[in-house]
Amino acid sequence: MAVYHLTKDNFDETIARGKSMVDFWASWCGPCKMLSPIIEAVAEKQGDAVKVCKVDIDAEPELANRFGILTIPTVIIFEDGEEVTRSIGVRPQAALEALL
């Protein structure tokens, strides 16, 4: 499954139903670059079971503010549009999947 790239225009609609994993990141962030292939691997492994998404905080500062993102990368797990848990920093694939 492909990774969804979210904006303020499609965020709520995309995560409204089911389980979603959202990676808040920036292109200049070294740890974000390290996490990116892990996020892609989670998306491939989870398939349609989980929507795996990314939010570029530089392009979407409103979303970063809305969720209180102070440190990146931050990964938030949502179920039916509600935050369930979050993880800050680079984590191995198994650790991220355990959040699901």
Can 53 be counted among the known catalytic residues?
no
Measured in degrees and rounded to the nearest 5, phi and psi for residue 85 equal: -160, 170
Choose, from 32, 42, 43, 96, the residue flagged as catalytic: 32
pLDDT tens-digit profile of 69-83?
Answer: 999 999 999 999 999
pLDDT tens-digit profile of 28-42?
Answer: 999 999 999 999 999
The DSSP bridge partners found for residue 79 are 19, 82
pTM: 0.95
Name the CA dihedral angle for 29, 35, 40, 42, rounded to a multiple of 10 degrees.
-150
Choose, from 29, 41, 99, 100, the residue flagged as catalytic: 29
Q: What is the DSSP letter of 92?
A: -
